[in-house]
Every structure is written in C-alpha cells, then in structure tokens.
A and B are shown apart, each in its own frame.
Chain A
C-alpha cells in the first residue's frame, strides 16, 4: 500500500497519458463529428490532469478554461449548426494507407530518437520553478514583445473574421439581385 502511494503520481501520469492516447485514437476512428469533439475534450482534460501532475497548475487551469471552455464550445456550436446537412459521407480519404504508413515511419523515427539518450536536466527542476508569480514576471518582462505580437495577431484575426462576414454579405446581396 505504501509503495502504491509512493508511486501514485507515476501511476496517475500513466493513466492520464493512456487516456489522452485513447482519445486521440478515437478521434481518428469515430465517424460523427460530435463524438470526435467529445473524444478531443476527453484528451484535453487528460492533458490538463498531466499538467497538474507536473506541477504547472496554471497551465492546467488555462487548458480547461481556454481549450475546453472556449475553443471546443465554439467547435461544438459549429458542429450543431452544420452537421445535419452532412449525411452518409465517406469517413476516410484515398490517402488512408499511405498516410498510416507514413505516420508509422515518422512515429518510429521520433520515438527511437527519444529513446536513445536525452540530455540531462539542468537548472532547478520541480514545482517551485513554475510558480505563477515567477511565470507572470517573466511573461510580462522578458516576453513582453511576444505578448504584444500575439495581441496584434488577435486583432488581425478579428479583422479577418469581419472580412469573411463582409464577403458572405456581398455574395448574399449579389445572389438576391442576380
């Protein structure tokens, strides 16, 4: 029992890692987009649990808040808006077997390179390295330029979304008059 408690974090890490992988495999195999979305949400929650086990709790919280709470809710909304029009289409493209073979080769090469030897860890590893205070200071001090560039990216995304809406309105109007 003591050994189990000592190795509990390793056990949980393996459990959530297996859950994330199962969710990823289910995303490839399931046919309905809504079920794929549920599998992706399960994968994201398993990854959030892994981040929590690694001691980066704020990334775990943002993984749930941003990915599951915002991105996937938007995706589920789009699926519910569009899914009824798409009945009985083919699940896989013609590239199924070349794609599977290529991915197996890629996976083999990268896993083999991971297995050989990783460099030894440097610096102070552990929970203290990822305190929200230290991260916030570094994020808004050292990485302020990156932060500003992402705000520009967000503005560009909003402008582009408005442009897409403008294109759809113009095409509506031309259909009505033509």
Chain B
C-alpha cells in the first residue's frame, strides 16, 4: 500500500461516513455537519491527486470547495433556524409536511 492509496482510502472512508451520517441521523444540525465531513473527504482526495500529478488544479478546486462550503453553511443555518422556530424541533421527523 503506497501513500496515495492510503490517503485515497481515508478520503473515501470519510466521504462514506459523512453520507452514512446524512442517511441515518435524525438531527438536522448533525446532518449538516456530516455534509461538511463529505466535503472534507473530497478535499483530501483532490489534494492527494494534485500532489500525485504535480499540478495546481486540485489545490484551486479545494479553494473553490472552501467557498462553496462556507456559502452552504451561511444559507443552511438561517433555514434551520426558521424551521426550528416553526416546528420547535431539530428532528427531521417533525418536517414531514415538507415532502413534495
């Protein structure tokens, strides 16, 4: 097992753990944090591939992911605040009436 394989394994494991958290957890804030974990896993794979190929494209993409993550949180937290004010709960089961 070389270093690239080890780091890609870690990044896949982090992405899968984040996806698992989004699927199985019921708390909205924990689900948001699991999404951040998925983005972190992707960032690790981008840095690993950029280091393997010696180009700056991966590092530039990591910076763009930083911006997207920040924008996502800045927008998601006010929406969660509104939902909690309306339903008085962080549990996703309370938001069943949002189903389309």
Q: A residues within 8 Å of B by Cβ?
A: 10, 13-14, 17, 20-21, 24-25, 27-28, 33, 36-37, 40, 43-44, 47, 50-51, 54-56, 59, 62-63, 66-67, 70-71, 74-75, 78-79, 81-83, 85-86, 89-93, 95-96, 99-100, 102-103, 106-107, 110-111, 114-115, 118, 121-126, 129-130, 134-135, 138-139, 142-143, 146, 150, 153-154, 156-158, 160-161, 164-165, 167-168
**Which of B12, B30, B56 touches A33 (beta carbons < 8 Å)?**
B30
- B20: min CB distance to chain A, Å: 5
On whether the beta carbons of A92 and B54 are closer than 8 Å, the reply is: no
Chain A residue at minimal CB-CB distance from B59? A135
In whole angstroms, how far apart are the Cα atoms of A92 and B27 in the complex? 9
In whole angstroms, how far apart are the Cα atoms of A33 and B33 in the complex? 9
On whether the beta carbons of B71 and A85 are closer than 8 Å, the reply is: no
Q: Would you give the 0/1 interface string for B71-92, flagging 1 where the beta carbon is closer than 8 Å to chain A? A: 1011101111110110011111
Knowing that A56-B50, A85-B88 touch, tell me 14 more A-B residue pairs with CB under 8 angstroms. A17-B7, A27-B34, A37-B33, A50-B7, A70-B70, A95-B24, A111-B9, A118-B8, A123-B53, A123-B55, A129-B56, A130-B56, A130-B59, A161-B78
- A60: min CB distance to chain B, Å: 9
How many residue-residue contacts, CB under 8 A, span A and B?
Answer: 232
- B40: min CB distance to chain A, Å: 6
Q: Would you give the 0/1 interface string for B25-66, flagging 1 where the beta carbon is closer than 8 Å to chain A? A: 111011011101100100110011011111111011011101
Most buried by A among B16, B18, B32, B92: B16
**Which of A118, A138, A164 touches B82 (beta carbons < 8 Å)?**
A164
- B68: min CB distance to chain A, Å: 7
In whole angstroms, how far apart are the Cα atoms of A13 and B8 in the complex? 13
In whole angstroms, how far apart are the Cα atoms of A69 and B51 in the complex? 25
On whether the beta carbons of B91 and A150 are closer than 8 Å, the reply is: no
On whether the beta carbons of B56 and A138 are closer than 8 Å, the reply is: yes
Q: Residue B99 at the A interface, CB < 8 A?
A: no
